[in-house]
Structure 1
């Protein structure tokens, strides 16, 4: 099994991937973990069949949906089969002899920088610098060996690249957690209604569904769609708008619903949803995981 993730060893995506192996009881020798430079590369290799799964961050408890990854799934034959939660604690790492008061630049992934804005507001002499990802930031700081520069990265990354911790847990929220999807390629010829029926029959624990939909640009179109969820007793868990490419000020929606109380055939549900939309796509069907993390 070939599993792709964004980054290098020590990245949060790698940590989520290792968590997935443990969850599914997959032996490390039976899985090839492949680090990618970008989320686009992960998606493209999944579509090309060069990897079997892609572990992708899709939401953060501090900053919300990670739209640059979710947008890559739109109009593509991919769907999530699992969700993983990763508690994200950022440590400020420097080389030996570094001190916070002497720092000039801190490198990290833009998502990590956005989760630590409070630190930079209280340390205005430090410039946040966007870099490829958290782990590669740590590796880069080690290579620079410059006491005026530091990185925001995980505990594992700092230890892997032999850096000195300058301050731990500098994220704005102690409960800072990232949600990952484990994405698979699905057969483009498969009718989604049938796909849902077979999956729910084989995996009854998969009661959470995420969709991407586009409705007619007219009054009441979205309300009609949402009424369908109410009709079939689907609990609405999330609704987020995204601009549609080449259609200024027209929006599609990522919608997440709980299917646990739905008793009707999923094929009927899907056909009803199709009737209420101009475009509809399954983004994921998975078992909802409890957030079992000790934030102390």
Structure 2
């Protein structure tokens, strides 16, 4: 990856999106902070970034459905994926003790993932924020001695906070999958063995099964199927499918056959499987 690669992320520095970007590209990158997923897409579309790192699903919270729509509407290429273990810690200014805490602040999803911990401390008031790292940054900037943030170790290091409780997430097998997006569909240099596709089928008995059977017959494994309604169209759905294969010829044949039974068939990206957490 060339030095200074520009990567758009939702959130600020030390957010989980930046952590995922570092895991995929290494730390020698320039991260571009964005307030929303749509803004990351606009930045990429305008040529102000080389890639976007976008969360697409969480093992507890499920799929981020609006992000599927963004990828399709902007017609970006999925060129990779990265899985990140979501480890949440309680952090405060140096010197702050647990008994001093009156407020805990973080992103709503992060708060939801720590409800079991806070059940034991009803005296702590929970305040929702826009971003895990932004909550940590605010504690540093405003020198809040009665507030803790729920965030990752990257945020603790960057904003010079002390971790006072580690791993407070309820489910220790909590991970998020991120997709790596690029504006242009260039040839992938790595060997490819996974693809993300999108299609529609006609609304009659067995239409979807027919397509899914084609992939099964060609030994292509479907690792995820996600349906979403087509806006403004009753009983019409987009099907987003992730698939993996061992033999490229099997995949190519399956796609050729599936084209006959689908409409608006779109290969969103072909890339190398990367599911190590």
Give the TM bin, normalised by the shorter chain. Answer: 0.7 to 0.9
- List structure 1 segments (4+ residues) > 6 angstroms apart after TM superposition: none
Query: What is the match of residue 267 of structure 2?
Result: 282
Q: Give the superposition deviation at 1:99.
A: 4.6
Q: Is the 8 A contact 1:58 1:180 kept in 2?
A: yes
Query: What is the match of residue 149 of structure 1?
Result: 147
How far apart are the structure 2 equivalents of 1:281 and 1:131?
36
1:27-106 correspondence to structure 2 within 5 Å: 28=28, 31-96=29-94, 98-100=96-98, 103-106=101-104
Unmatched 5+ stretches in structure 1: 188-194
Q: Give the superposition deviation at 1:89.
A: 1.0
Change (3 A) 1:222 1:123: farther
Unmatched 5+ stretches in structure 2: none
SS of alignment partner, residue 17 of structure 1: helix
1:121-132 correspondence to structure 2 within 5 Å: 121-132=119-130
Query: What is the match of residue 14 of structure 2?
Result: 10
Q: Give the superposition deviation at 1:250.
A: 4.1
SS of alignment partner, residue 212 of structure 1: strand
**TM-score after normalising by structure 1:** 0.81
Q: Give the superposition deviation at 1:102.
A: 5.1
SS of alignment partner, residue 253 of structure 1: strand
Q: Is the 8 A contact 1:89 1:154 kept in 2?
A: yes
SS of alignment partner, residue 180 of structure 1: strand
Q: Is the 8 A contact 1:135 1:157 kept in 2?
A: yes
How far apart are the structure 2 equivalents of 1:269 and 1:139?
49
Change (3 A) 1:250 1:111: farther
Bigger mean CA deviation after superposition, 254-263 or 221-230: 254-263
Query: What is the match of residue 204 of structure 2?
Result: 218
Q: Is the 8 A contact 1:234 1:262 kept in 2?
A: no
Q: Give the superposition deviation at 1:215.
A: 2.1
How far apart are the structure 2 equivalents of 1:208 and 1:240?
16
Q: Is the 8 A contact 1:7 1:35 kept in 2?
A: yes
Q: Is the 8 A contact 1:99 1:147 kept in 2?
A: no
Q: Give the superposition deviation at 1:251.
A: 3.1
How far apart are the structure 1 equivalents of 2:260 and 2:126?
48
Change (3 A) 1:243 1:94: farther
Structural RMSD (CA): 2.5
Change (3 A) 1:247 1:101: farther
**TM-score after normalising by structure 2:** 0.86
Q: Is the 8 A contact 2:219 2:250 kept in 1?
A: no
How far apart are the structure 2 equivalents of 1:274 and 1:180?
27
Q: Give the superposition deviation at 1:131.
A: 1.8
Of 223, 232, 242, 2:228 maps to 242
1:35-82 deviation digits (Å, cap 9, x = unpaired): 222211111111222211111122223323233333321233212211
